[in-house]
Amino acid sequence: MRFASLLLCLALCSLAQAAPVSLIPLPAKLQLADGMFKVADDTPIVIPPHDPAARQDALYLVDLLARTRGLHLRLTENTHASSAIVFSRDPKAVVSQAEGYTLDVTPQGVRIVARDDAGLFYGAVTLWQLLTPDAHQGPVSVPALHISDWPRFTWRGLMLDSARHFQNVAEVEQLLDQMAQHKLNVLHWHLTDDQGWRIEIKRYPELTRVGAWRTPPDAEHDGEPARYGGFYTQDQIRDVVAYAAARHITVVPEIDMPGHAQAVVASYPQFGVTGKRPPVSVDWGVNPYLYNVDDATFQFIDNVLDEVMALFPSHYIHVGGDEAVKDQWKASPVIQAKIRALHLKDEDALQGWFIGRVGGYLAAHGRRLIGWDEILDGGVPADATVMSWRGTDGAIKAAQLGHDVVMSPSPDLYLDSVQSDQPDEAAGRNPVRDLASIYAFNPIPASLNAAQAAHVLGAQANAWTEHMPTMQHVEHASFPRIDALSEVDWSPSSVRSWKGFLARLPAQFERYADQQVAYADSAFAALIQVDANAALKHRRAKVTLSNQANDGAIHYTVDGSVPDLQAPLYAGPFTVKLPTTIKAATYASDGSTLAAARTRVLDDASLSSREGVELPNCPGSDFRLRIQPMPDAASMTPVYAVNLFDSCQQYPGALLDGVTTIHADVVRLERNYALAHEAKLVVSRPHRTPYGEFVVHLDRCDGPALASMPLPNPATSGRQFALDASLPAKSGEHTLCLVFTAPTDGPLYAIGRVSLEKHRP
């Protein structure tokens, strides 16, 4: 038996490496056989008689194939149909695990067998992937094989933040479509926050009349709307929930409390602590507004939850619990009296009491509370489930205490983290979380024993949308990193292989393109590297090409044309004369495109300049965002690098021989960030002119100032402007420290591009 198990493991590992079929996530067991089965128009799909769930799953496959392959299959209950795809329900099926199925392909047909509805559905999804190995239309032949498959985890999640930026129903449903195709089964829907309340509550109409809308900073200027927002009606919520359920996805709503409540307090000030009405927040980050803890507020919460539970049949209701800054509670005599009356230790314990009360109400209605790991800080109901975002420590603590947990740590599974350091990468926050790091994530911490590990329900990626204002941004951030997560959540760890996963991605990219999903090619994008200073000195550049995944064939050109498969294949560093334009694209072994062409111009101007996003932070703070020109900008570019705590970047290795002038393209940005107690960490620098300066220091940030350029009046200048200054004669390579001394209570500034220029007579 041990020898047979070894052979099976070797076969599965070989399968993962060779990727003979492009399935994501990889099935638990797959065995190839001899022969093929051809699927064409009118191939029958046989469904069990009087089985509406099986009919629905089969119709899902019919619709998906019609849209993506141009194949039109027909349903029948005729069990004698030949050369057919058969859906079969069997309470004694070989795969006994929930959501599991078997799929057999022979030259005579296809059979999908499962015990439950979800198993039939996931079998249909796997068959659809087998029938879409490429972007071609029409008939397709499937290799004979046997698959036995079931998920590793029960919670395979994606969180969508609709509070910071709003997505319409069609966009949410498109995301659900992709989740289903990846066998993800939980949409955690973040519907309320400081920046917006997105769910209609009929008993409290002000929540959407007021709380769903904010006035953006600098509204009606530079592309910002007069107001921003939106909400989902209860009918729309029902439609989304039904749409998800048809794809075996549970929608778990999040109503954030006791913090992240500014939109609520803007709508109904009496349910806040101060009684004052703030605006709906335009600031990302941690705002101070909390719920009150009096009986009227809890009646409000109970009434809201009644309507939420009527709309969402999910067993779990997410109550947030994160980032509740306790300043308002600490400053309120009424709240302090409540703490004493309840014999609680402090404000953290009050939050524990608050969450416990809400959890009790949910439990009385047959539901279960889930919250972010801060709910552990003040005590938590015994049956509460913990979603760990502050790393994995919260999950470890919760599991050791006997709580079920969902792994969703930052930055590991935070999709608002950028995917690469490429100059053309989209907006997001550092550090980089690339495709490989998501694939390598292990939801089971090594410190948990077997009994504790059994409390890990699964893993979830989070699409926070402060810096993702459109669905194009969300899709770019999510795909293909969700492919990696789906395999982490579904496939046995013993059969997973990074190389095998990469080999299966080209077909998935074609599926994305066919469905107009704006996926990212960052993992395969060609990085074109040269030693800029050596090139300037010798008028020749040694060019190195690579990509993040270290996979695919990179083809390049040196004449500015777009490289195709006939262009030279990169095999090692090569040398070009200046000036030259390098373009490089990455292709899969089947000739499909893995990454569109990237361009680098090699001439004096480009080699003597840097994009702002290429300039590293100055030492002392590693916080870094890539942000757009305005908070609600709808385009993917441009993006600018900022450090909210220290407006200082470095230009390392600046070759100053003959340089007489520095030129900077600068943008003024909104400082719409709530930093709470971290505001004290913001570095404030002295300035000599009213609006601050752009200062260039030599070698160190406390080194001599080579140039200082006053920043213009924000009230009268454009958002983008240029600054120029003469530099004293210097030679050799130096680090330039580039600092904005603008007052920290005013706008932010960022570098678009900085150039070192020589005097030309």
Residue in the block written with tokens 């709530």: 674
Pinpoint the alpha helices (H) of 217-283: 234-245, 262-267
User: 200 an active-site residue?
Assistant: no
- Please tell me whether residue 354 adopts helix, strand or coil conformation: helix
188, 190, 260, 476: which is the annotated catalytic residue? 260
Q: Centre a 10 Å sphere on the Cβ of residue 543 and count the other Cβ atoms it contains.
A: 21
Sheet holding 574-577, edge to edge: 527-529, 540-546, 574-577
194, 200, 323, 489: which is the annotated catalytic residue? 323
Half-sphere exposure of 104 (CA within 13 A, CB side): 13
The size of the chain, in residues, is 761
Residue in the block written with tokens 């959501």: 99
Q: Which residues of 339-378 are buried (b: 16+ CB within 10 A; e: fewer)?
A: beeeebeebbbbbbbbbbebbebbeeeebbbbbbbbbbbb
Residue in the block written with tokens 């570098």: 751
57, 116, 149, 193: which is the annotated catalytic residue? 193
User: 260 an active-site residue?
Assistant: yes
C-beta separation of 184 from 158 below 8 A: yes
Instruction: State the Cα–Cα distance between residues 190 and 321, nearest whole angstrom.
Output: 12
The amino acid present at 585, given as its one-letter code, is: A
DSSP state of 135: S
C-beta separation of 103 from 114 below 8 A: no
DSSP 502-538: HHHHHHHHHHHHHTT-----TTTPPEEE--HHHHHHH
User: 254 an active-site residue?
Assistant: no
Nearest 10 degrees: Cα torsion 475, 373, 300, 251: 40
Closest CA to 260 of 321, 335, 331: 321
Could you give the residue numbers annotated as active site?
193, 260, 323
